[in-house]
Amino acid sequence: MACPQLRFLSRSDTQATAMVLSLTGWMDGGEVSTGSVGFLIEQLHMRPLAEIDPEDFYILNFPGPMDVSALFRPDVKIEDGLIRRFAMPSNVFHGSPGHPLILFQGREPHIHWGGYLECLLEAASRFGVRRIYFVGSYSGLTPHTREPRIYASVSDASLKPELEQYGVRFSTYEGPGSLVTHLTSVASARGVEVVSLVAEIPAYVQGRNPKCIEAMVRRLAAMLDLRVDLDLMRRASDLFEERLTAAVQSREGLPEQIRRLEAEYDQELFNTEMGDLRQWLQDQGIRLD
């Protein structure tokens, strides 16, 4: 089914085997989704190749209080009585002839999910994409001093052994769904594989989270065999953790709560990664608890 809202910005023979999606909205806490893909677009010197016309996919006038309605309206900038910017939601596919990869930055649509997915899948088909990755995040109990846990859901069980080598866990979840969940559920019928990677970020940390972005980019770069320079991102991650740790010390009761999270995280890591050893010791009559 053709997608009339899909527009190619220039004639391009770019072909790719994989596409990575980032979406603002539902699963972009800490800017893990948009921050990870934005970093890769810059590092790989990618340029816009196509876009999805936003007109049919967003509610721009939501009835209600101004603070709620403002979340839906286009972003504008007015200077000295002149309109300098009127920005509708943006959904852009980026690519580069030197990389068999498409990077997509968009905003999860409010309505017509099926039509939006048709645009994504048609673009994937035009570019030759066989696998689509999504990167995102959710707030959880991971302490800021530890590597964020990354959970995966996949369109087919055959993908799981490949992902296990990267240390991801597989999601167990029931509740509200997302556009990516919808995409994952229909992908196999369209001949496309989907891998959704979601980082668990500290619930007590607000705003951009460089540490979680770095962890996601590092994992994604390994999966896609990307040659990207992570040195600056690692330094930003370390500095972020140092400053956050210092700030935490000034909040009464918070350091103790974080130490509890650290202990629970470390115990779970031990139970997961040392499971075989634990079983062997127990078989020998040696208990660890």
pLDDT (tens digit, 9 = 90+) per residue, 14-55? Answer: 889 999 999 998 899 999 999 999 999 999 999 999 999 999
Please identify which residue in the block is written with the tokens 């080598």.
Answer: 165
3-state secondary structure at position 54: helix
Q: Is the pLDDT of residue 273 over 60?
A: no
CA distance 35 to 49: 20
pLDDT of res. 225: 94
Domains of the chain with bracketed CATH = 6-250 (3.40.50.10900), 252-289 (no CATH)
274 is written with which tokens? 């040392």
CA distance 167 to 204: 24
pLDDT (tens digit, 9 = 90+) per residue, 160-188? Answer: 999 999 989 999 989 999 999 999 999 99
Q: Is the pLDDT of residue 276 over 90?
A: no
pLDDT band of residue 158 (cuts 50, 70, 90) is: very high
pLDDT band of residue 287 (cuts 50, 70, 90) is: low
Distances (CA, A) of 284 to 218, 271, 273: 39, 18, 19
pLDDT of res. 44: 95
Q: Is the pLDDT of residue 289 over 60?
A: no
pTM: 0.88
CA distance 137 to 151: 9
pLDDT of res. 274: 54
pLDDT of res. 277: 54
pLDDT (tens digit, 9 = 90+) per residue, 228-249? Answer: 999 989 999 999 989 988 888 8
2 is written with which tokens? 């053709």
pLDDT (tens digit, 9 = 90+) per residue, 86-125? Answer: 999 999 999 998 899 999 999 999 999 999 999 999 999 9
